[in-house]
Structure 1
């Protein structure tokens, strides 16, 4: 109870019950959404793919209300380029990120017990 009050439900990545939700834009993106979900789960990430037959905007709004740290929207370009379009629970849009790069980022944040949702740029980046 104390942690919920302290974070007002907006848990850091390492503490969030669901760390990311994959949201396909259209039904034909479901297979890629499931693939992204499987790859993230294999890395120990707590993730769900929202394959319900609902409007994408409604899904985003709903999961933002649940304060899920990362909303991963996937569409045609993401399927072709093996990326995920990352939106933070703060509604900040990080744009399309290669799936491998996103997996590395979320793993590092979770393992470091960071309070941040993104990594600080490294020297030389």
Structure 2
């Protein structure tokens, strides 16, 4: 799993569109609300907005998806 952080001064909408054009599978958005609630706002290239979840929930979901992909190959 590769991770990159976009700390540019662009708007969040621009950053999301850019990531979609680059076909980034998952975008994890962390703003003031997420920090306060200790959550991540998760967006998927396939399924759009997946809502808020904890870091542990997201990583469990990602590991499951990776394991399923490995079985298919």
TM-score range, shorter chain: 0.7 to 0.9
1:76 aligns with 2:32: yes
Greater relative contact order (CA < 8 Å, ≥ 6 in sequence)? 1
CA root-mean-square deviation:
1.5
- Give the gaps of 5 or more residues in structure 1: 1-44, 115-125
Q: What does the per-residue CA deviation read over 1:48-69, in whole Å, with 9 as the maximum and x for residues that have no partner? A: 1111121111110011011111
- Give the gaps of 5 or more residues in structure 2: none
- With the length of structure 1 as denominator, give the TM-score of the two structures: 0.51
Higher-helix-fraction structure? 2
Report how many aligned residue pairs link the two structures.
70
Q: Would you identify which runs of 4 or more consecutive aligned residues in structure 1 move more than 6 Å?
A: none
Distance apart, 1:47 and its partner CA = 1.1
Separation (CA, whole Å) in 2 of partners of 1:101 and 1:77 = 18
- With the length of structure 2 as denominator, give the TM-score of the two structures: 0.83
Alignment of 1:21-32 (within 5 A): none
1:67 aligns with 2:19: no
